[in-house]
């Protein structure tokens, strides 16, 4: 094994400091100058150049940085492997550890690991930024368990997020490793192996109807012409556990022979001490009473990075034997405070299996809470003691420990002290009863006793890896042989500044018999005792108060059931309430994908229409795919950090950067006066500044930047820049604020057709309503990043940028630098996701970085941290809609008047075009004779909102489906019936007077009904709802019609450049950028078919303004259409030039023809171009064709809600999508599923929360929740409509990026359907308002019942809310 030694730099007194020794991918690392503030991630990327491990959030919430950590435990005699977040793991904690990164397990040039191969071939990697982390989570699992169950895989991925794929292909790829989904083990001699006989257990059946999860489908028999599977599991390499990287023997021998000794590492600001013994630790704590103890760094690391806290001395007691000990006592199990949460779970599972059930009530409760505690990477390192000592008021475990009366042993030099974990242990917010010289030594979790019952509850926005809204531990003990309460403890988190006990309530219930009267009194008392001020931090006050009662009711029923089973109560829990007592169980998802057959006779080497793997997938799985921040550091390169406003609307009085300039490593500060060109910027109109000068108009407004030698130095110094403000009024944050203040951008857009007055006069009924739809954060896994490199002459500059708009970046950088665009080259290799967020807002960073590089004449780099990116970049526009609908008693809609308001933020950006598209989609898929839509663009003091997948279409259609649901509900008709009646038909005209041609809505609708078994499903739901009081199911079917083209006419153009080299290889360039959507792959397929050569001969390197100028943004779902046609054009030109040589030598090879043409001096380079014909729309005359064609789709979804908590489960979704003749079914299905899951986040989960002063609370995965693995529908079918060629796009295909997203509205309206059933239980009928997203809070508050009555909301206007609906 080779060694790497990093030399010591003199940095003060380093006497008595230690070398850090660890291994990375088998190589020994000796670090002489370990910095306690450096994370493993930074070290891997910046010191070792291992860039496969990615930075996604820096708070352990996304999993992009996952690596495997291995350590030898001498007392156990074995090596333990576990996944960890490298972004949180302190470098200094790795002494004598072995780190394995994605580069260490396989590579493209060598051999892939099966974990890498399977996710790539199963199409589980799109943008690829999350892929290395997912690969390493799976790899770590297999190192410990080579044949896991699916539940193990689902647990392993709780800490990983993906924004592109929709998760399904990842789970299916890795199901092949499991006992449930791997090879059948029959072998060829016993009827044939499942991997080779044509029936693929998890990859699909032959004939192209892929049924994962072992289900069959009648449609496979109906359509014998379906295609081959998306992938063939027979091609997968087998997993051989004997071939894995060995644990370094040197570390094993060191572990066996070396006594633990104290280690000391000194950085610029922090001293890290790892005590060698308990005695040393207690002595150090006495000498450094303010020192923080760090084991997993899952809390202190966050505080130091995001809260700007500094702890000069850190004590690391992770390897002190006494603190890691697990002992069994007569009363329970004693865990040392450094025991990890994973070890806690492991020990408790053993105890539950071995001990009598009555003794393990508390253990099972802790295990249930640990199921949903953060992600596995966090549980692997976070310790029990740290969880307690953090003293979080929303801790998952502290209410359990408090309700269980756990005993804590505290230790100091003066000796031990035992305290009970009760209401006195947390005297205040984030405070404990420990003295400054004490440490938490251990916790004793007691055995439960006979007659004692224990339950825990956690309610959070997302079930997996989420912080609590309210959490609870509840324990009751009865007088022996009776149902009379002897002792009762109700502990709650999330209801005060500390974990609290409801002592007033429990005191009143002692001596009472368990029954309905006790329940009623308990709820009244809890409602009085567990109160919150209406302005309480965290908001959701009514919901949280209701949860206190709902959770107690669940506990009441659970205990009631057990008492009845033991004969201590006469009546059992009613069958209609029994589901309340069930612990949540997640079913393993199953899925099927259906797509068009390859036509008979199609050439085998013609790849168009085949499910070809993403061209970068393999590189992405090995960490070798290069993203912008993976580019090696330039010599003399420096790092930039932004200085942003802390006020929403204020005048800048002064800027003092003197302290920042004196800080270590700082090179310069950059402000508006450093801009050599124009300070005005903006994608459509120049209404923004590169750097603010006199006025800031949002929190996060960029004022300046600090440039330093490292990211850490730059970020620290940026925080030291002092800005004095004079706040201005008004502060306009919400749409309602803008309406009240008439704060609008111009113009106000209107589309009108027909006679509204006549339509409303004809109508049997008129309904009015309103709806608010929240915004959405893009949450691309790769944040905005730019590297700017001055070229040293003629004002030239080269920029490497993660952007969808290379040309716009070029023009705005040139404007800021005061040079011609020809002097600025912008290069884009790939993006780690974009979704519209890098269409225009990426330029806000690029221009600042370019200005700094120009000032310093040296390369400058900046990759935003997740919290910075979310703060400055804006997101999807929140929308508010008011509508008036006229309709007949049959359900036919005859008139609609709708007004939209969107929250644009502090600049126009693309808001006008977004509002126009919302208006173009205001009728969704329905024919309405008399219609008017009006759109107002609200000017507010928020960061400018921008493009996001769907570009206003999903907002416009969401309001449509809301009033359509109201219409059906008001008439007592089914939503399916009313929607079907109003669907467009062939040759009908839209409100903007475009005639619909080749419409496939009816085909999509009918196939969706059939594939989803809609009517049988509806009958089953009705039966379920009759039998269940508190869990209700809902069903909805929703269509979409999405117009394809940029609504700005000039953008509907594209260029391409094709080079043929003399060896026959082809270099292809086009105007589109690759962000995971498979655009480059599709372009290679187009070129392959056109030129008649294999894909292996064609290469796309990057997108560059040097090769294809004046490119349109990669957006509007039109990139395959536009660039595909341009590529086709370039290739056709080349073919024409080669034709004479093919004619002369018909039996020759491609290479022969190319060489012949070259020697004949024929130009083997061609420029292709395309512009979409017959486009153009005029708002003044309401005439023209805004769209080239339309994409159609239909989705049917079934959900189940828990009306007591507001949680919901996505049970089933069927999607039928018209994508024309798919260029690549694997990529298109991936886009459908990924778009759908992004829509699931938009409509049910993701909620941006702003203060009334415009401050964004949700600035990372900790508080902002995108869908996780567990949110995909349990049963998912995706069908690409067959026999639906589209003659208006390349090779009869259709766009696919944006249209599927809106189909997730079927989940929202299924939830609304279920809420309707819950409301009917208390006599509430008819339309009701449900805003989007349908969060647990909104679902629960809409399900009114006996508990909500006890918790009425405060009157609006009587308090200042913590958060507002923007």
Active-site amino acid positions: 1298
Q: How far is CA 982 from CA 893, 928, 954, 955, 1002, in A?
A: 7, 8, 19, 20, 11
Is residue 796 within 8 A of residue 825, CB to CB? The reply is yes
- Return the closest-CA partner of residue 1175 out of 986, 1048, 987, 1285: 1048
**Cα(1320)–Cα(363) distance, rounded to whole angstroms?**
39
Q: What is the DSSP letter of 47?
A: I
Strand 1031-1044 vs strand 500-501: parallel, antiparallel, or unpaired? Answer: unpaired
Residues in the chain: 1366
Q: Please, what is the angle between helix 953-971 and helix 1305-1320, to 10°?
A: 30
**Cα(187)–Cα(102) distance, rounded to whole angstroms?**
33
Mapped onto helix, strand or coil, the DSSP state of residue 1274 is coil
Strand 785-790 vs strand 797-801: parallel, antiparallel, or unpaired? Answer: antiparallel
Two structure tokens written together for 468: 């609590």
Two structure tokens written together for 1198: 């079934």
**Cα(1079)–Cα(519) distance, rounded to whole angstroms?**
60
**Cα(1067)–Cα(792) distance, rounded to whole angstroms?**
29
Two structure tokens written together for 990: 């839209």
Mapped onto helix, strand or coil, the DSSP state of residue 235 is helix
Rg of the chain taking only CA atoms, in angstroms: 31
Mapped onto helix, strand or coil, the DSSP state of residue 881 is strand
DSSP letter for each residue of 692-734: -SSEE-STT-EEEEEEESSHHHHHHHHHH-EEEEEE-S----S
Is residue 485 within 8 A of residue 512, CB to CB? The reply is yes
3-state secondary structure 796-862: CEEEEECCCCHHHHHHHHHHHHCCCHHHEEEEECCCCCCCCCCCCCHHHHHHHHHHHHHHHCCCEEE
Q: How far is CA 1167 from CA 827, 1090, 1151, in A?
A: 19, 15, 21
**Cα(226)–Cα(416) distance, rounded to whole angstroms?**
72
**Cα(390)–Cα(196) distance, rounded to whole angstroms?**
54
How many helices (H) and strands (E) would you count in the chain?
Answer: 36, 51
**Cα(473)–Cα(1127) distance, rounded to whole angstroms?**
63
**Cα(288)–Cα(1132) distance, rounded to whole angstroms?**
76
**Cα(1261)–Cα(132) distance, rounded to whole angstroms?**
18
- Return the closest-CA partner of residue 753 out of 998, 1000, 995: 995
**H/E element holding 1067?**
strand 1066-1070
């Amino acid at each position: 094994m080779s060694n790497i030694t990093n030399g010591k730099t003199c940095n003060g007194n380093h006497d008595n400091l230690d070398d850090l020794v660890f291994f990375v991918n088998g190589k020994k690392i000796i670090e002489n100058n370990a910095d306690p503030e450096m994370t493993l991630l930074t070290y891997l990327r910046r010191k070792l150049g291992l860039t496969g491990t990615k930075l996604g959030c820096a708070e352990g919430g996304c999993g992009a940085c996952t690596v495997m950590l291995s350590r030898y435990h001498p007392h156990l005699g074995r090596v333990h492997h576990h996944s960890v977040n490298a972004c949180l793991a302190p470098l200094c904690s790795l002494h004598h550890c072995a780190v394995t990164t994605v580069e260490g397990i396989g590579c493209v040039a060598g051999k892939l690991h099966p974990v890498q191969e399977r996710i790539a071939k199963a199409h589980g990697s799109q943008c690829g930024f999350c892929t290395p982390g997912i690969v390493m989570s799976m790899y770590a699992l297999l190192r410990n368990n080579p044949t896991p169950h699916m539940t193990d895989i689902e647990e392993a991925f709780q800490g990983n997020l993906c924004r592109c794929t929709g998760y399904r292909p990842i789970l299916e790829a890795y199901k092949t490793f499991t006992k449930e989904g791997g090879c059948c083990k029959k072998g060829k001699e016993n009827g044939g192996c499942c991997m080779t006989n044509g029936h693929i257990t998890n990859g699909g059946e032959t004939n192209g109807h892929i049924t994962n999860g072992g289900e069959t489908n009648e449609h496979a028999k109906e359509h014998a012409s379906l295609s081959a599977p998306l992938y063939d599991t027979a091609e997968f390499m087998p997993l051989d556990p004997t071939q894995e990287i060995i644990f370094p023997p040197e570390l094993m021998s060191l572990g066996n022979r070396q006594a633990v000794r104290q280690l000391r590492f000194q950085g610029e600001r922090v001293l890290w001490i790892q005590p060698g013994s308990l005695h040393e630790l207690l002595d150090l704590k006495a000498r450094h009473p303010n020192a923080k103890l760090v084991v997993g760094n899952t809390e202190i690391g966050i505080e130091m990075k995001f809260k700007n806290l500094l702890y000069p001395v850190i004590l690391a007691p992770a390897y002190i034997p006494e603190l890691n000990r697990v002992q069994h006592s007569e009363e329970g199990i004693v865990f040392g405070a450094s025991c990890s949460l994973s070890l806690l779970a492991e020990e408790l599972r053993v105890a539950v299996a071995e001990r009598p059930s009555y003794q393990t009530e508390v253990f099972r409760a802790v295990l249930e809470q640990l199921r949903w505690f953060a992600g596995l990477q966090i549980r692997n390192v976070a310790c029990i003691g740290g969880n307690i000592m953090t003293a979080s008021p929303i801790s998952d475990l502290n209410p359990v420990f408090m309700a269980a009366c756990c005993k804590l042993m505290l230790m100091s030099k003066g000796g031990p002290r035992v305290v009970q974990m009760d209401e006195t242990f947390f005297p205040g917010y984030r405070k404990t009863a420990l003295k400054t010289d004490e440490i938490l030594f251990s916790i004793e979790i007691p055995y439960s006793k006979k007659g004692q019952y224990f339950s825990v509850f956690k309610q959070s926005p997302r079930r997996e890896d989420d912080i609590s809204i309210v959490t609870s531990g509840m324990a009751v003990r009865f007088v022996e042989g009776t149902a009379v309460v002897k002792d009762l403890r109700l502990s709650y988190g999330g209801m005060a500044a500390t974990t609290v006990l409801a002592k007033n309530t429990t005191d009143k219930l002692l001596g009472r018999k368990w029954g309905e009267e006790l329940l009623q009194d308990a709820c009244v008392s809890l409602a009085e005792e567990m109160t919150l001020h209406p302005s309480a931090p965290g908001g959701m006050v009514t919901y949280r108060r209701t949860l206190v009662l709902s959770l107690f009711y669940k506990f009441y029923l659970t205990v009631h059931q057990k008492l009845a089973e033991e004969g201590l109560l006469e009546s059992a829990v009613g069958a209609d309430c029994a589901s309340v007592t069930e612990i949540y169980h997640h079913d393993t998802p199953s899925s099927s994908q259906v797509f068009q057959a390859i036509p008979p006779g199609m050439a085998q080497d013609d790849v168009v229409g085949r499910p070809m793997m993403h061209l970068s997938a393999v590189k992405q799985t090995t960490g070798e795919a290069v993203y912008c921040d993976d580019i090696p550091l330039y010599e003399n390169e420096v790092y930039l950090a932004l200085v942003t406003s802390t006020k929403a609307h204020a005048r800048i009085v002064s800027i003092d950067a003197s302290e920042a300039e004196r800080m270590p490593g700082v090179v310069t500060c950059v402000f508006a006066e450093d801009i050599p060109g124009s300070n005005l910027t903006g994608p459509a109109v120049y209404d923004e500044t590169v750097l603010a000068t006199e006025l800031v108009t949002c929190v996060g407004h960029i004022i300046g930047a600090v440039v330093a030698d490292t990211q850490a130095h730059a970020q620290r110094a940026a925080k030291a820049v002092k800005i004095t403000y004079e706040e201005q009024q008004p502060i306009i944050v919400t749409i309602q604020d803008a309406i009240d203040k008439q704060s609008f951008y111009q113009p106000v857009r209107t589309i009108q057709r027909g006679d509204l007055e006549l339509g409303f006069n004809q109508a049997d009924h008129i309904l009015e309503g309103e709806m608010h739809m929240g915004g959405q954060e893009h949450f691309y896994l790769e944040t905005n990043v730019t590297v700017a490199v001055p070229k040293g002459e003629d004002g030239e500059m080269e920029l490497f940028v993660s952007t969808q708009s290379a040309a716009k970046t070029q023009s705005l950088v040139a404007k800021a630098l005061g040079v011609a665009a020809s002097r600025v080259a912008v290069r884009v290799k790939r993006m780690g996701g974009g979704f519209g967020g890098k269409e225009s807002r990426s330029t806000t960073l690029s221009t600042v970085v370019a200005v700094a590089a120009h000032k310093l004449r040296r390369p400058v780099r900046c990759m935003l941290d997740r919290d910075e990116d979310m703060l400055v970049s804006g997101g999807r526009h929140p929308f508010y809609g008011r509508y008036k609908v006229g309709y007949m008693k049959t359900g036919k809609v005859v008139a609609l008047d709708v007004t939209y308001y969107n929250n644009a933020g502090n600049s126009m950006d693309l808001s006008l075009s977004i509002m126009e598209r919302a208006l173009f989609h205001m009728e969704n898929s329905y024919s309405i004779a008399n219609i008017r839509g009006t759109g107002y663009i609200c000017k507010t003091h928020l960061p400018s909102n921008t493009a996001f997948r769907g570009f206003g279409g999903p907002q416009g259609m969401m309001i449509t489906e809301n009033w359509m649901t109201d219409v059906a509900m008001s008439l007592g008709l089914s939503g399916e019936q009313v929607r079907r009646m109003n669907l467009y038909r062939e040759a009908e005209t839209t409100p903007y007077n475009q005639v619909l041609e080749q419409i496939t809505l009816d085909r999509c609708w009918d196939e969706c009904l059939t594939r989803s078994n809609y009517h049988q499903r509806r009958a089953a739901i009705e039966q379920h709802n009759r039998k269940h009081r508190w869990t209700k199911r809902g069903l909805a079917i929703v269509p979409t019609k999405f117009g394809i083209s940029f609504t700005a006419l000039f953008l509907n153009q594209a260029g391409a450049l094709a080079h043929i080299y003399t060896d026959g290889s082809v270099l292809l360039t086009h105007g589109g950028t690759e962000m995971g959507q498979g655009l480059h792959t599709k372009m290679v397929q187009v070129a392959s078919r056109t030129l008649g050569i294999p894909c292996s001969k064609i290469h796309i390197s990057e997108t560059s303004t040097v090769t294809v100028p004046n490119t349109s943004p990669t957006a509007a779902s039109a990139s395959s259409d536009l660039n595909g046609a341009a590529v086709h054009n370039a290739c056709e030109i080349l073919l024409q030039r080669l034709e004479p040589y093919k004619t002369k030598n018909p039996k020759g090879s491609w290479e022969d023809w190319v060489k012949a043409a070259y020697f004949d001096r024929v130009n083997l380079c061609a420029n292709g171009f395309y512009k979409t014909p017959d486009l153009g729309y005029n708002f003044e005359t309401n005439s023209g064709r805004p769209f080239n064609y339309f994409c159609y789709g239909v989705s049917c979804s079934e959900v189940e809600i828990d009306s007591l908590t507001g949680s919901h489960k996505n049970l089933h979704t069927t999607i039928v999508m018209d994508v024309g003749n798919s260029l690549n079914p694997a990529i298109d299905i991936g886009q459908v599923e990924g778009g759908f899951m992004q829509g699931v986040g938009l409509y049910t989960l993701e909620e941006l929360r702003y203060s009334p002063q415009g401050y964004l609370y949700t600035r990372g995965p900790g508080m902002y929740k995108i869908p996780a693995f567990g949110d995909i529908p349990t049963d998912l079918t995706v069908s690409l409509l067959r026999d639906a060629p589209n003659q208006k796009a390349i090779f009869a295909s259709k766009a696919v990026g944006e249209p599927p997203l809106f189909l997730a509205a079927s989940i929202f309206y299924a939830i609304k359907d279920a809420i309707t059933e819950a409301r009917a239980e208390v006599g509430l009928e008819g339309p009701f308002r449900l805003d989007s997203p349908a969060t647990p809070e909104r679902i629960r508050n809409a399900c009114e019942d006996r508990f909500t009555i006890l918790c009425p909301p405060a009157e609006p206007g009587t308090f200042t809310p913590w958060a507002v609906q923007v």
